[in-house]
Amino acid sequence: MRSILHRITATALLLLTAGMATSPSIACGFDGILGDGFSAEHPRSIAVAFAISDAVAAGIVDKTAVAPIVPGSSGYWRAVGRISAFHRLFAAASIADGDAPAISLLFIDSKLWARFSPEPQGYALQVHAPGASPGDVVIVTSEAILAAVLDGTMAAKRALDLGLIAIDGEPNRTAATRDLLVSAADRVKGVAVTGAPATLVRAFGPAH
CATH number at residue 74: 3.30.1050.10
In a domain, 11, yes or no: no
pTM: 0.75
In a domain, 176, yes or no: yes
Most confident listed range (17-31, 80-94, 150-164): 150-164
Q: Are strands 137-141 and 103-107 parallel, antiparallel or unpaired?
A: parallel
Mean pLDDT over each residue of the chain, to the nearest integer: 75
Q: What mean pLDDT do residues 185-190 have?
A: 66
In a domain, 122, yes or no: yes
Q: Which amino acid is at 180?
A: L
Summarised one tens digit per residue, pLDDT across range 91-150 is 666 554 457 789 999 999 989 999 998 887 778 899 989 889 999 999 999 999 999 999
For residue 152, pLDDT over 60 is answered with yes
The secondary structure of 154-183 as a DSSP string is S-HHHHHHTTSSEEESSHHHHHHHHHHHHH
Do 79 and 107 touch, CB atoms closer than 8 A? yes
Most confident listed range (32-36, 87-91, 139-143): 139-143
Q: Confidence band (pLDDT; 50, 70, 90) for 33?
A: very low
Domain total of the chain: 1
Q: Is 141 helix (H, G, I), strand (E, B) or coil?
A: strand
Q: What mean pLDDT do residues 147-159 have?
A: 92
In a domain, 9, yes or no: no
Domain ranges, residue 122: 45-189
In a domain, 198, yes or no: no
In a domain, 145, yes or no: yes
For residue 38, pLDDT over 70 is answered with no
Most confident listed range (31-35, 90-94, 175-179): 175-179
Q: Is 57 helix (H, G, I), strand (E, B) or coil?
A: helix
For residue 178, pLDDT over 60 is answered with yes
Is the Cα dihedral 100, 101, 107, 108 positive or negative? negative
In a domain, 38, yes or no: no
The residue with greater pLDDT, 87 or 91, is 87
Residue 90 has a pLDDT of 72
Residue 7 has a pLDDT of 52
Residue 207 has a pLDDT of 36
In a domain, 2, yes or no: no
